[in-house]
Amino acid sequence: MQHPNILELPRSALLIIDMQEAFRASIKDFDKFVQRIVVAAKGAQLLKLPIVVTEQYPKGLGHTVAEIAEVLPADVALLEKTTFSSCGAQHFAEKLPQTDIKHVLVCGIEAHICVNQTVHDLLAAGYQAHLLNDGITSRNETDRKAALAKMLASGAISSSVEMALFELMRDAKHEQFKAIQGLIK
């Protein structure tokens, strides 16, 4: 029997929140977080997970950074928003409920604003929010830590890119095991 907090491959999706160019100069180790999200996006594709990407006011903040945008499937829509919660983006509500999604792997910025509000809205809507901690950051580490603590206290589940990918595969005999293993090395 599987614990209810373990990711289920056919019922999971990846959500990438606001990884936009304007934040690169103001977030310490931005490129490190970008690289973890690139691994998450590539792994999600190998495992055939739906991917949802949001952009906060792209007219002012620019679009999703090239490193991530380049590895996304061609059919991934970039959802523009002005609401802090991704759940408020036009068409967002249509992306997850149209499938049998239960688990949402969450990564992006900023932890204490858009990620925090999105996670709380996901939890309120009955989804499990799995925080890819190595893919979530803020301009200030104090804000990041406070956001992670609040989201966890509210019922979000702590995870990482590598943990989530291996949890989704469940077995070294999975057909994408070697490909996933190659991504994380």
Whether 48 is a known active-site residue: answer: no
Separation of CA 155 from chain center: 16
Please report how the helices 30-46 and 177-184 are oriented relative to each other, as an axis angle in degrees rounded to 10.
Answer: 180
Which of these is catalytic: 42, 95, 107, 114? 114
Which of these is catalytic: 42, 81, 107, 121? 81
Token pair 């830590």 is found at: 145
User: Is residue 69 within 8 Å of residue 63, measured between CB atoms?
Assistant: yes
Which of these is catalytic: 18, 42, 87, 134? 18
Residue 177: count of CB within 10 angstroms of its CB = 16
Whether 18 is a known active-site residue: answer: yes
User: Is residue 114 within 8 Å of residue 56, measured between CB atoms?
Assistant: yes
Catalytic residue ranges: 18, 81, 114
